Amino acid sequence: MRTLRQRHAVTELLESVDIRIDGDRPWDIRVHDPRFFDRVLAEGALGFGESYMDGWWDCAALDQCLERIFRARLDQMARRNRELMLLALKARLTNRQSRRRAFEVGRRHYDIGNDLYRAMLDPWLQYTCAYWGEGDDLAAAQERKLELICRKLQLEPGMKVLDLGCGWGGFAAYAARRHGVQVLGVTVAEQQVKLGRELWRDDAVELRLCDYREVDGVFDRVVAIGLLEHVGYKNYRTFFQVVHDRLAPDGVALVHTIGGNRSMRHANPWIDRYIFPNGMLPSITQVGAATENLLVIEDLHNIGPHYDPTLMAWHRRFEAAWPSLRDRYGERFRRMWNFYLLSCAGGFRARNTQLWQFVLTRLGRPQPDCRVC
């Protein structure tokens, strides 16, 4: 009887956003294990994602299914479940993005295998939102993003650039090759440094394994592409203080980050457990407070709609490469990675999440020309 009640509750909830249980449309859910209903009601987003990983349900178009859920904010239906309450408590009592914890996301996400990322990403190994133009493939769209950032930074030959959270060093190599600058990149992922040093060893690029708070020196330009999502709300001010302190008085900085529509102190519990430990998305309010009386926000550009096609391109490349990855990663990982990529695509398509590029300067500097979009 209890299972029937749980099934009815979940069925009614999903039907409110035009998702049917065992329907025949691409975004409908086919349930293989009746425990799915109780798990979703009890655990919310965590149970929804874990039960997919466990094979308890399937969906032919998971991105379309999640888009409907996000657009109606059904992902917030169990906001007071135990996992969310625990995450909120941890966020209040501890600094989950402290220097001691900073390398955890490197070990658990970015170091899982360069073979995976090389198969999924473009030649510059850009693991952030591309900037799409008509007729672009993934490689062209990522080059368009890299050039957009270089133009916003107004790079000139001989400049010294600091790349905070540099990943595999793709931006650093692009900027060095195309614009004649020297780049120091820092990341907390050991395998990123190892591969990046192999790929770009002939370029004016230095990659270091260290936390963004450990960098010294002054640079003409500072860039952070996809780092702020790992900084944590307790450290936003510290992050922007680092940007300020590393930036020359007449310099320009750019921060490229996923952002949320509301201020949060924790991430989606499934994403936190399986994809980006200790991560969280900043809001406009949080960025504004963290830069107040420290840096001038010269330009704010939202390219969030470009992330949906980026994620879908990654997913196609991942699926195409799966036969060569299967033996190392296994079927549960495949389901986890598919859920990650396609749920994020659905979130951006529903405008649940954004991608912002902030151009910043130190107080008192003349305004740079930001009309490059």
- What does 203-217 look like in DSSP terms, one character per residue? SSEEEEE--GGG--S
pLDDT of residue 2: 53
Phi-psi region of 163 (alpha: psi -120 to 50; beta: other; left: phi over 0): beta
- Taking residues 44-50, report their average pLDDT: 92
How does residue 77 score in pLDDT terms, banded at 50, 70 and 90? low
Name which residue leads in pLDDT, 250 or 77: 250
For 177-211, how does the pLDDT look when each residue is reduced to its tens digit (9 = 90+)? 999 999 999 999 999 999 999 999 887 999 999 99
pLDDT tier at 8, thresholds 50, 70, 90: confident
Give the integer Cα–Cα distance in Å for 303 and 101.
30
Residue 59 near residue 65 (C-beta atoms within 8 A):
yes
Contacts of 308 (CB under 8 A, 6+ apart): 345, 348, 349
Q: Is 129 a catalytic residue?
A: no
pLDDT at 284: 97
Which comes out higher in pLDDT, residue 345 or 276?
345
* Nearest-angstrom CA–CA distance, 298 and 277: 31
The pLDDT value given to residue 370:
73
Residue 95 has what pLDDT? 45
Percentage of the residues of the chain whose pLDDT score is greater than 90: 77
Catalytic residue among 59, 65, 129, 344: 344
Q: Which residues lie below 8 Å from residue 302, measured CB to CB, with a gap of 6+?
A: 354, 355, 356
pLDDT surpasses 90 at 126? yes
CATH architecture of 110-362: 3-Layer(aba) Sandwich (3.40)
Residues 6+ apart with CB under 8 A from 218: 246, 247, 248
Q: How confident is the model at residue 83 (pLDDT cuts 50, 70, 90)?
A: very low
Alpha-carbon gap, residue 303 to 372, rounded angstroms: 14
Residue 212 has pLDDT above 80, yes or no: yes
d(CA 338, CA 315): 7
* Alpha helices per DSSP H over the chain: 2-15, 35-53, 62-71, 82-93, 104-105, 114-120, 138-153, 170-179, 190-199, 236-246, 269-274, 284-291, 307-349
Structure tokens at 70: 């996000």
Q: 334: pLDDT confidence band, cut at 50, 70 and 90?
A: very high
Q: Using the predicted structure, report yes or no on whether residue 98 has a pLDDT greater than 90.
A: no
Alpha carbons 269 and 71: distance in angstroms, whole number? 19
Band (81; pLDDT cuts 50, 70, 90): very low
pLDDT of residue 1: 46
CATH 3.40.50.150 residue spans of the chain:
110-362
Least confident of 153-162, 206-215, 274-283: 274-283
Query: Is 123's pLDDT higher than 50?
Result: yes
Q: What is the mean pLDDT of residues 149-172?
A: 97
Tokens of 62: 């998971």
The pair of structure tokens assigned to 86 is: 């625990």
Average pLDDT of the chain?
Answer: 90
Could you tell me the CA-to-CA distances from 258 to 248, 261, 324, 349, 360 in Å, in that order? 26, 10, 31, 14, 17
Position 43 scores a pLDDT of: 85
Residue 41 pLDDT more than 90? no
Query: Averaged over 259-280, what is the pLDDT?
Result: 88
At 221, is the secondary structure helix, strand, or coil?
Answer: strand
Taking alpha carbons only, the member of 44, 58, 61, 59 closest to residue 10 is 44
Q: Give residue 89's pLDDT.
A: 38
Q: Are 119 and 318 in contact (CB under 8 A)?
A: yes
In whole angstroms, how far apart are CA 76 and each of 69, 70, 73, 326, 336?
9, 9, 6, 34, 21
Averaged pLDDT for residues 26-44: 92
Closest CA to 229 of 148, 170, 283: 283
**Which two tokens mark 87?**
């995450």
Is the pLDDT assigned to residue 88 strictly greater than 50? Answer: no
Q: Is the pLDDT of residue 371 over 90?
A: no
CB 155 within 8 A of CB 221: yes
Token pair in block for residue 65: 């299914």
Rounded mean pLDDT of 130-152?
A: 98
